């Protein structure tokens, strides 16, 4: 059965590795990352954004994730990514999500803290993890669009006050990564991660995982990042594999055939991320 991500992430921070959190949009993508985690014996976080909840329905996502969790030998959590709507958070918790993100990063500090605190209170009663964001992660994720010049790094002292005020069990501080693929390399502020980690003992979350070079991922993890979100890269390999099938055979019409290489590609990408996060063998 699905577990809360809080203990998975606390164990990760305490032991210097990070749990891969993969945004899935189809059953095959979900199965692919579960197979990867199982093969690597790594704890796993399945994620869906608000757009995917609206596309597939929370109940369908929960039943697929529950089925995976029942069959798997590794712990699996199901997380709602970047949600700005309180009602949808409640709905997903009722449906069986074991972790939720309240993204109120577009609001001033006090409002962000107040909204987060409200979510923490209802989630705590349900044994569900909560993640909040401070600063603003750049790039595009669903309907949340943050231009490069609007991206904002999190302030370490605000991080400390925020965690104290809200009791939030996991925190995503913006430290220079962005959603989507980078033009060039990300400009990660490692000193800032270190400062935040020194003031805040909850597990930290690294957004914008696609496209970060391995060395930089490892450095982030060594400094206290205990969860990394990966969305764009697995979406691209999944879609590219399907495109390759149709390029070769435009008349293919059997999803049981054209989904096979797509699923394989997602599994391979997930295994790579799990290896760089150091979570293999930690289940």
From the list Zn ion, Na ion, ligand 13P, none, pick the one residue 12 interacts with, judged by a Cβ distance below 5 to 8 Å according to partner type.
none
Residue 210 interacts with ligand 13P (CB under 6 A)? yes
**Residue 254 burial (10 A CB sphere; 0-12, 13-18, 19+):** exposed
Helix (H, G, I), strand (E, B) or coil at 223: coil
Q: Which contacts qualify for 59-63: CB closer than 8 Å, 24 or more apart?
A: 59/95, 61/95, 62/2, 62/95, 62/96, 62/97
**CA 56 – CA 61 distance, rounded (Å):** 7
**CA 278 – CA 161 distance, rounded (Å):** 30
> Smallest Cα–Cα separation from 100: which of 76, 145, 132, 59?
132
Nearer to Na ion, 208 or 224 (CB): 208
Residue 5 interacts with ligand 13P (CB under 6 A)? no
Which one of the spans 70-78, 186-194, 229-237, 242-250 is the region binding ligand 13P (CB under 6 A)? 229-237
**Site mask for ligand 13P (CB under 6 A), range 125-154, x = bound:** ----------------x-------------
Nearer to Zn ion, 79 or 207 (CB): 207
189 is catalytic: no
Residue 23 interacts with Na ion (CB under 5 A)? no
Backbone angles phi, psi at 130, to 5 degrees: -130, 140
Which of 20, 75, 169, 211 binds Na ion (CB under 5 A)? It is 211
Catalytic amino acids? 81
**Residues of this chain that bind ligand 13P (CB under 6 A):** 23, 81-82, 141, 179-180, 207-210, 229-233
């Amino acid at each position: 059965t699905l577990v809360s991500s809080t203990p998975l992430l606390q164990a990760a921070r305490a032991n210097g590795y990070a749990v891969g959190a993969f945004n899935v949009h189809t059953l095959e993508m979900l199965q692919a990352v579960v197979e990867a985690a199982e093969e690597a014996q790594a704890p796993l976080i399945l994620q869906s954004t608000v757009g995917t909840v609206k596309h597939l329905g929370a109940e369908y996502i929960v039943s697929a994730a529950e089925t995976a969790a029942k069959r798997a030998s590794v712990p699996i959590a199901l997380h709602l990514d970047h949600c700005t709507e309180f009602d949808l958070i409640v709905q997903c918790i009722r449906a069986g999500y074991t972790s939720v993100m309240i993204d109120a990063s577009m609001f001033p500090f006090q409002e962000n803290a107040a909204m987060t605190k409200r979510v923490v209170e209802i989630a705590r009663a349900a044994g569900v993890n909560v993640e909040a964001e401070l600063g603003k992660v750049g790039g595009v994720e669903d309907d949340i669009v943050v231009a490069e010049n609007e991206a904002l790094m999190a302030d370490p002292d605000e991080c400390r006050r925020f965690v104290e005020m809200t009791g939030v069990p996991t925190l995503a501080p913006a430290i220079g990564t962005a959603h989507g693929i980078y033009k060039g390399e990300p400009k990660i502020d490692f000193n800032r991660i270190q400062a935040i980690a020194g003031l805040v003992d909850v597990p930290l979350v690294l957004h914008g995982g696609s496209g970060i070079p391995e060395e930089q991922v490892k450095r982030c993890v060594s400094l206290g990042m205990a969860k990394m979100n990966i969305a764009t890269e697995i979406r691209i390999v999944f879609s590219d594999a399907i495109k390759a099938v149709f390029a070769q055979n435009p008349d293919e019409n059997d999803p049981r055939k054209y989904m096979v290489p797509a699923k394989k590609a997602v599994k391979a990408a997930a295994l790579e991320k799990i290896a760089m996060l150091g979570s293999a063998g930690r289940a």
